[in-house]
Amino acid sequence: MARSLLATIIFLAALQPIIVLGAGDAAARLTAQGKQFEERIFKIADNAYTAVGYSVSNVSMIVGDDGVVIIDTGMTLDDAGRIAEEFRKITDLPVKAIIFTHAHGDHTGGAAAFLGESRPQIWAHENFGSEARGWVSGDLTVQKMRGARQAGFRLPPDQRINNGVAPVRYPKRGGAVFSSDDKTSPTHFLRGDQQSLNIAGIELELVSSPGETNDQLFVWYSAGKALFAGDNFYRSFPNL
């Protein structure tokens, strides 16, 4: 019985067309996909803007009455500095809060570029940084190997067309995963499933949403009907 089932599966599999992509096709498709990472500031709703392509992750700004909220901060100070410059062309109101959707370095590493003279609130999930703690304390490297294979970190430069979900812009192989800079560490935490905030007159809902990481949260901006989903949603195969 098992043998005939196996034979049937092999027979059916043999009927499927086989698609073979040459290296040239793959390179052309990756290059075409890279167009989504061209540097642009999108106005996604009234008073809400998202910077795409400047860094490994998107950075967003919501403008309120007397200040702004920044959601995620990009990977490096250089990336984030260029985004901050673009955002300042829209408004020069001070940053009242930064919200990290999760602790990955490409969302947190540029935070210092958005700090003004008065320190903003920095919000994150109560599990912030929990993903890597066990790996670091156990000196495990399996997740680094997995990430390197998934995003092609070890390919020679001429073959590194993009990271699949982002332009190639890692300062070094693998990059830093967490910011250890005290000034950019979270000061406020989402505890439980959900929490409402009003910052600079902006009504926001933080929603716990473990997915890509255990410390992921969604930000819901109801006035603009905009959801900031962090890395739980993007245009490539999920990073779960």
Binding site for Zn ion (CB under 5 A): 104, 231
Q: How far is the CB of 71 from Zn ion (least distance, A)?
A: 14
Query: Which residue's CB is nearer to Zn ion, number 47 or number 58?
Result: 58
Nearer to Zn ion, 84 or 229 (CB): 229
| 103 versus 122: smaller Cβ distance to Zn ion | 103
Q: Are 217 and 208 in contact (CB under 8 A)?
A: yes
Minimum gap (Å) between residue 187 Cβ and Zn ion = 21
The CA–CA distances, whole Å, from 174 to 3, 15, 125 equal 46, 41, 24
Task: Tell the smallest beta-carbon distance from residue 239 to Zn ion (Å).
Answer: 6
Measured from the CB atom, the residue of 171 and 224 that comes closer to Zn ion is: 171
Shortest gap between Cβ of 220 and Zn ion (angstroms)?
A: 19
Distance, CA of 21 to CA of 64 (rounded, Å): 49
Given a contact cutoff of 8 angstroms between Cβ atoms, the answer to whether 49 and 83 are in contact is no
From CA 165, how far away is CA 88, in angstroms rounded? 26
Short-list 100, 149, 151, CA closest to 129: 100
